[in-house]
Chains A and B, each alone.
Chain A
Amino acid sequence: MAAITERVAIAHAQERNYRGIWAWLATVDHKKIGIMYIYAALFFMAFGGAEALLVRIQLWQPNNHLVSAETFNQLFTMHGVTMIFLVAMPILIGYINAIVPLQIGARDVAFPRMNALSLWLFVLGGIFLYTSWFMGGAPDAGWFNYVPLSGAHYSPGAGVDFYDIGLQITGIGTLMTAINFLVTILNMRAPGMRLLRMPMFTWSALITMLLILFAFPPITVNLILQMMDRLFHATFFNIPLGGNALLWQNLFWIFGHPEVYIVILPAFGIISEIIPTFSRKPLFGYESMALALSVIAFLSFMVWTHHMFADGLGPIVNSIFAITSMLIAVPTGIKIFNWLATLWGGQIRFTTANLYALAFIPLFVIGGISGVMLAMAPADLQYNDSYFVVAHFHYVLFGGTLMGALAGLYYWFPKIWGRLLNEKLGRLNFWLVFIGFNVTFFPMHILGLEGMPRRISTYAPGYGWTTPNQIATVGAFILLAGMLVLLYNLISTFMKQPDLVQDPWDARSLEWSIPSPTPEYNFAQIPLVEDRDAYWVAKREGSGELPKAEPVGPIHMPSPSLSPFFLAVTIVIAGYAALLHADWLALIALLAAFWQIGLQLVHEDHGYHVHPDVPTGGATE
């Protein structure tokens, strides 16, 4: 014991204490950063959802003029941009932040300050995008923002500039998240946590980060090229001066298709945690699950042209990309069968988290099958740009990603916040969302086959489109009711005392072996991992205590810092200045940003030490 006291004595105290809101702005703790990601994603979800509701109300009846065609374009564009870039990705990155370091037995991420910078670039970039509504109009050329529609000629307002600059800002943050978590997962695993012992959610995070690493640079380049065109009159997409409109489509979908997997693979990971836990069985086909993730990631870079079948690139190109696209069904099918085999013979518990996970499987299969239908190039010419496509991607993005995200919310809520969400309200929430989702989006398949094009602000009577549209709008309000129940559940849970249950689900991975909410240093002693599902094995074959890989001692922590927040603010100022053609201010802000980056590159953080609370009996020296 003497040695410990001595080490604590020499450990110096935290350099600076931030309080209140400053503590949140300055935090470099991956758990707090994860919480802020989740809050911000839910906040933006309210806006994206409101936009969707306005779209559905506008389409309630033929020749409706609730909103103008111009506003309608802005609504569906911002709905798509919000849900993909400001909701789906951040909520999943939030879980990855809050959970992955715990699952691999680490005390933090590799670059804690860079992690804070990623968060602030996302939050401030998202707010930047939303201020477009008050500064001359939101982006209005669709979430994939095709040229020439998005060029200065057809979109003269500042909306598309907000898109170009806002997505660059959030994109840099996402790229840094990828670097951070690749290093964290590859280098910071606890002793014995080999790659093939990692929980499947961590595997999905690893593969997702690889996708981000190679998919975000092409979109960044694309956004830069369009920004050069719009702000500095370059001619990348100006056809009379030698430009090429297909360049935008190619670079966009080289990013865009992997992006689809960036938002679905972590959901696969969440489902792969929840189903074994609530079946009390190990994940069936663990190795094939990890391999399937890797194959999906590899193939996802070889399919982008299936978004461009209607461009007329020729039968050979279309055939190749049709085949590679259909190939993705093979690893995805492996995952579906493995989940079913995990459930087979298990002691299934129908908690809200598991209900969402179980709903995920059939809904994602429907989305997958309509995906294979769309991958058939000749048939695609029929579905192209119709509501069938809208139905397809909502079944994978809502039925897949969002169901997975909500499953994860109910599952990890007690770990992250130390409180269990109400299960009765949870069930009501689930059934309303499940029914509302299908009522909203299933009729869109029929609307698409009946010929209704996507993105039209209104339609004439007599096509048989009215009834399916009205069913869809009713469904959207059932969805709204479901989400309001979730909101009520969240608020009422935050009002009550924390339960502080460490392991409410009798779960399998390392995050459940430590108290809820987790102490700032995560593990008082880093565990020694000797099995896949090590915590489960420890509970079944021993005391529930994992063997420790290190003696008790003071723990080194990184210092909190406001510099990531200020750097993000500087970058956003540069964005506004460029957009308002205040070129000198933009230049000064960019130089200031690079100056701050340079200071970070030579910065030396000595951190501080804390002494962990070790439960009595654990502190053997």
Chain B
Amino acid sequence: MSAQSETTRIALEHETSQELGLPKDHRILGLWIFLAGECAFFASLIGAYLGLHTGVAHGPTGAQIFDLPLTTVATLILLSSSLTVVLGVAAMQRRDVRGMQIWLWLTALLGIFFLEFQGYEFYTFYHHGLTLQTSAFGSAFYTLTGFHGLHVAFGVFWILLLLFQSLKHGINEERTTKVFIMSLYWHFVDVVWVVIFTLVYLAGKVS
């Protein structure tokens, strides 16, 4: 009975988990589902921004204060960090732990650079007279980009934790999945920035 049921088990397990072609690892599927929820979260924030960005009251408009060259550099930095995280995961899949660590360090560093740019941007906008309290535009702008920045900061923290874990204990199968799902999250945060850059900065400069 045992041998027979073992065969059926394998055959049928294949059938149920492959019925929808979903990732078999719970954590990977869970992270994708989490990202679906995050899409709804950022869609709501971006929707609120689009509804409020003309409400500038007596404060400055986006067209007056956005510094496109500066934000473009920040964007390029963040987008390069998607490349470095891919190279890190690729190195991990080649079992090149050292290579993975170097690329993850670089990714975290690029994330920190991006946050510095954002901090600098907030600082200059503040001195141009745009605060959270100035206008609905200001509230929506700082809340949307601020929440994106918090996501980047959490991503940096996550990368550093995984990095220290791999430095201290090496890498095993479970940890590779942990690194992989972190990379999915990191890509998502980058994609959201592409949308924000387009709808907030580029469109804001045009109008």
Give me the interface of A with B, judged by CB distance under 8 Å. 110-111, 175, 178-180, 182-183, 186-195, 213-218, 220-222, 224-225, 228-229, 232-236, 238, 240-244, 247, 251, 254, 526, 528, 547-551, 594, 598-599, 601-602, 604, 620-621
Give residues of chain B (38-62) contacting chain A, Cβ–Cβ below 8 Å.
Answer: 38, 40-41, 43-45, 47-48, 51-52, 54-57
The 9 A-B residue pairs with the shortest CB-CB distance in the complex, in nearest-first order: A242-B55, A191-B12, A242-B136, A234-B139, A217-B40, A217-B41, A221-B44, A110-B26, A551-B2
Closest to B153 in A: A594
In the bound complex, how far is the Cα of B25 from the Cα of A186, in angstroms? 11
Q: Does chain A have a CB within 8 A of B8? A: yes
* A13 CA / B31 CA spacing, docked (Å): 31
In the complex, how many angstroms separate the beta carbon of B164 from the nearest chain A beta carbon? Answer: 8
| Contacts A/B (CB < 8 Å), 20 sampled | A110-B26, A111-B30, A179-B34, A182-B33, A183-B29, A187-B22, A189-B16, A191-B12, A213-B36, A214-B36, A214-B37, A217-B38, A217-B43, A222-B44, A232-B132, A233-B133, A235-B134, A235-B136, A241-B136, A247-B51
Residues of B within 8 A of A193 (CB): 16
Q: Are A183 and B17 in contact (CB under 8 A)?
A: no
Interface residues of B in 120-156 (CB under 8 A from A): 132-140, 142-143, 154
Per the bound structure, the CA–CA distance linking A193 and B175 in Å amounts to: 30
**Closest A residue to B137 using CB positions:** A242
With A191-B16, A598-B161 known to touch, is A235 a contact of B133 (CB < 8 Å)? yes
Contacts of B178 in A (CB 8 A): 601-602
In the complex the two chains form, is A217's CB within 8 Å of B8's CB?
no
- What is the minimal beta-carbon distance from A346 to any residue of chain B, in angstroms? 31
Q: Other than the known A549-B12, A550-B9, A551-B2, what 5 A-B pairs have Cβ atoms closer than 8 Å?
A: A188-B26, A213-B37, A217-B40, A236-B140, A550-B5
Chain B residues with Cβ below 8 Å from A244 are: 51-52, 55, 136
A252 CB, min distance to chain B CBs, angstroms: 11
Contacts of B136 in A (CB 8 A): 235-236, 238, 241-244
Q: Do the beta carbons of A187 and B17 come within 8 Å of each other?
A: yes
Judge whether A548 and B5 touch: CB under 8 Å: yes
The answer to whether residues A186 and B57 also contact, given A191-B8, A244-B136, A598-B157 and a CB cut-off of 8 A, is no
* Partner among B56, B134, B139, B154 whose Cβ is within 8 Å of the Cβ of A236: B139
Q: Assuming A187-B24, A244-B52, A528-B12, is B5 touching A551 (CB within 8 A)?
A: yes
How far, in angstroms, from A316 to B65 measured CA to CA in the complex?
Answer: 38
Q: Which of B15, B24, B36, B44 contacts A251 (CB 8 A)?
A: B44
**A188: which B residues are within 8 A, CB to CB?**
26
Taking the closest CB of chain B, its distance from the CB of A592, in whole angstroms, is 13
Chain B: minimal CB distance from A311 (Å) = 15
Say whether A179 contacts B30, CB under 8 Å.
Answer: yes
Of B13, B142, B158, which contacts A601 at CB under 8 A? B158
Residues of B within 8 A of A214 (CB): 36-37, 40
Q: Which residues of B contact A549 (CB under 8 A)?
A: 5, 8-9, 12-13
CB < 8 Å neighbour of A528 from B9, B132, B133: B9
Q: How far apart are B59's CB and chain A's nearest CB, in angstroms?
A: 8
Please tell me which one of the listed residues B29, B56, B174 contacts residue A186 in the complex, with CB atoms under 8 A apart: B29
Is B162 in contact with chain A by the CB < 8 A criterion? Answer: yes
CB distance from B31 to the nearest CB of A (A): 9
Contact residue among A110, A598, A604 (Cβ-Cβ distance under 8 Å from B174): A604
Point out the residues of chain A lying under 8 angstroms from B132, CB to CB: 228, 232-234
Assembly CA distance A175 to B34 (angstroms)? 9
From B46, which residue of chain A is reached at the shortest CB distance? Answer: A221
A175-B37, A217-B38, A221-B45 known; A234-B133 Cβ under 8 A: yes
Contact A235 B12, CB 8 Å, known A110-B26, A214-B36, A214-B40: no
Residues of chain B within 8 A (CB-CB) of A594 are: 154, 157
In whole Å, how far is B137's beta carbon from the nearest beta carbon of chain A? 6
Complex CA distance for A608 and B48, rounded to whole angstroms: 48
Complexed CA–CA distance, A598 and B160 (Å)? 10
By beta carbon, the residue of chain B nearest A180 is: B30
B72 at the interface (CB under 8 A from A): no
Please, which residue of chain A has its CB at the minimum distance from the CB of B24?
A: A187
For residue A550, give the distance in angstroms from its CB to the closest CB of chain B. Answer: 5
> CA of A182 to CA of B36 in the docked complex: distance in angstroms?
12
Bound together, the chains give a CA A114 to CA B33 distance in angstroms of 14
A residues within 8 A CB of B140? Answer: 236
In the bound assembly, the distance between CA atoms of A144 and B20 in angstroms comes to 38
Interface flags for B177-204 (1: CB within 8 Å of A; 0: not) read 0100010000000000000000000000
Q: Which residue of B lies closest to A196 (CB)?
A: B19
CB–CB A251/B57 < 8 A: no
